[in-house]
Amino acid sequence: MENEITWAIVDGDAIRQIDGTPFGVYTLTGRVIPLPRAKLLAPVEPSKVIAVGLNYLDHARELKMAVPKEPILFMKPATAAVGPGDAILYPEMSKRVDYEAELVIVIKEQAKYVPQNEAGRYIVGYTCGNDVTARDLQNRDGQWTRCKGFDTFCPLGPWIETELDPSDVKVEAVLNGEVRQSSSTTNLIFDTNFLVSFVSRVMTLLPGDVIMTGTPFGVGPMEPGDEIEVRVEGIGSLINKVVKV
């Protein structure tokens, strides 16, 4: 049905509609839609977006900063989340807005005080994310709520990959067809299981919450009219346009 919003499973060039959600029990309805005819939305509606700063060795070296002894956490509001193809709105109060390509963890079930060796069962899968940042406001404020929290500053997608081994995948940002970031999750300081365990000791994680795992070296500015693509090996591409508010 046109304009119907539904959960579905991507299967090659088709999507298969399901009853239920990927965070619980679901069944196939039998309805199949060609993928090119579907508008993909953000693959989750998180109650909160938890992000990790300075979590790549190459990024720490780039900034000439010490490797953190514990994850540096911050949050984005749920209203920052948008999907593939949606616009990133360049806010009037900023003069520099940066891309930050990231691998994103999607939480499957409520998680609190999760042992690191059990973290995998609380992860439904992974997606691509862009931790869009108003860099000039970050420098001005000295903290990260405003610079990270604008509406549309958390593109996610194109879908949740449920069969990814995140230990060694390439993470890239491509601006207007030019590769600007390219690294591997082998450079992560704190891996995905550690992050789920650590964050769950701070706050209760709920189904659909996401943890952005940090960005590699090469972050840089975007301008209105630019196209930014985040690629994560084994997942796919998340493409968004930058639009002036």
CA dihedral 37, 238, 84, 189 (to 10 degrees): 140
Strand runs (DSSP E) across the chain, as ranges? 8-11, 14-20, 26-34, 49-53, 72-76, 81-82, 87-90, 97-99, 101-107, 123-130, 133-134, 154-161, 170-175, 178-184, 210-212, 220-222, 227-232, 236-244
pTM for this entry: 0.97
What is the rounded distance in angstroms from the CA atom of residue 132 to the CA atom of residue 110?
Answer: 27
In this prediction, residue 4 carries a pLDDT of 86
Cβ neighbours for 125, distance < 8 A, ≥ 6 positions apart: 22, 106, 160, 161, 162, 163, 164
Task: Identify whether the C-beta of residue 231 lies closer than 8 Å to the C-beta of residue 101.
Answer: yes
Start-to-end CA distance of the chain, whole Å, equals 32
Cβ neighbours for 92, distance < 8 A, ≥ 6 positions apart: 245
Q: How would you write the pLDDT of the chain (245 residues) with one tens digit per residue? A: 567 899 999 999 999 999 999 999 999 999 999 999 999 999 999 999 999 999 999 887 877 788 899 999 999 999 999 999 999 999 999 999 999 999 999 999 999 999 999 999 999 999 999 999 999 999 999 999 999 999 999 999 999 999 999 999 999 999 999 999 999 999 999 999 999 999 999 999 999 999 999 999 999 999 999 999 999 999 999 999 999 99
In this prediction, residue 1 carries a pLDDT of 55
What is the rounded distance in angstroms from the CA atom of residue 99 to the CA atom of residue 47?
Answer: 23
In this prediction, residue 58 carries a pLDDT of 84
- Which SS3 state, helix, strand or coil, does residue 64 take? coil
In this prediction, residue 59 carries a pLDDT of 80
What is the rounded distance in angstroms from the CA atom of residue 232 to the CA atom of residue 67?
Answer: 24
Sequence ranges of the domains in the chain: 1-39, 40-244
Q: Which CATH superfamily is domain 40-244 in?
A: Fumarylacetoacetase-like, C-terminal domain (3.90.850.10)
What is the rounded distance in angstroms from the CA atom of residue 189 to the CA atom of residue 185?
Answer: 9
Length of the chain counted residue by residue: 245
CA dihedral 141, 143, 145, 146 (to 10 degrees): 20
